[in-house]
């Protein structure tokens, strides 16, 4: 059975701006604090395949993997999955959805993953880590997109 996390954040910006910024994979190193590099490998219609590389961690580790995401602009949803899952994961899938609210755009991520039997951490520890890190990244995305919204309203 897959482990699951669900997180959301409300971003005080237009739906179009939130959608455009969070789906511009090449800009993710400025949108997320964890990514040093985002390389587009292939585009086919609404699907993009890309490689993400993290910043060097305190222990010297750098993580890198290939993912694929398909955006449905009409439904304001995205389905993503890791193609290269690395040493910890059997699988990882993320569902994004965007909903307008009276106070902004609710961006929600549902992440489902399966650890490898050889993973050095248990499912509960992995869920807690992913839940904590997702909240950090969502807060940063909110800050960056809201700053862009203010900048575009002024300019």
101-111 pLDDT, tens digit each:
999 999 999 99
Task: Quickly state the pLDDT bin for 153 (edges 50, 70, 90).
Answer: low
Whether the pLDDT of residue 16 is over 70: the answer is yes
Residue 10 covered by a domain: yes
Structural domain boundaries, residue 120: 3-24+71-154
Residue 109 covered by a domain: yes
CB 27 within 8 A of CB 135: no
**What mean pLDDT do residues 18-35 have?**
97
Residue 37 covered by a domain: no
Residue 51 covered by a domain: no
- Tell me, what's the pLDDT at 154? 54
- Tell me, what's the pLDDT at 133? 96
The share of the chain scoring above pLDDT 70, in percent, equals 97
Q: Which CATH number do you get for residue 81? A: 3.30.530.20
Query: Three-class SS string for 17-67?
Result: HHHHHHCCHHHHHHHCCCEEEEEEEEEECCEEEEEEEECCCCCCCCCEEEE
Sign of the torsion formed by the C-alpha atoms of 115, 121, 122 and 127: negative
Q: How many domains does the chain have?
A: 1
**What mean pLDDT do residues 126-131 have?**
96
Instruction: Tell me which of 73-77, 92-96, 118-122, 132-136 is least confident.
Output: 118-122
Residue 46 covered by a domain: no
Residue 77 covered by a domain: yes
Averaged pLDDT of the chain: 95
């Amino acid at each position: 059975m897959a482990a699951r996390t669900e997180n959301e954040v409300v971003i005080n910006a237009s739906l179009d701006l939130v959608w455009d910024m969070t789906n511009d994979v090449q800009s993710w190193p400025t949108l997320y604090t964890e990514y040093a590099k985002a390389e587009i490998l292939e585009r086919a219609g609404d699907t993009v395949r890309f490689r993400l590389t993290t910043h060097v961690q305190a222990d010297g580790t750098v993580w890198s993997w290939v993912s694929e995401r398909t955006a449905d602009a009409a439904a304001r949803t995205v389905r993503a999955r890791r193609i290269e899952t690395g040493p910890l994961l059997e699988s990882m899938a993320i569902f994004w959805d965007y909903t307008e609210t009276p106070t902004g755009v609710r961006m929600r991520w549902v992440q489902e993953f399966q650890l490898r039997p050889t993973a050095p951490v248990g499912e509960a520890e992995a869920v807690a880590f992913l839940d904590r890190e997702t909240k950090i990244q969502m807060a940063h995305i909110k800050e960056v997109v809201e700053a862009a919204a203010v900048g575009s309203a002024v300019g």
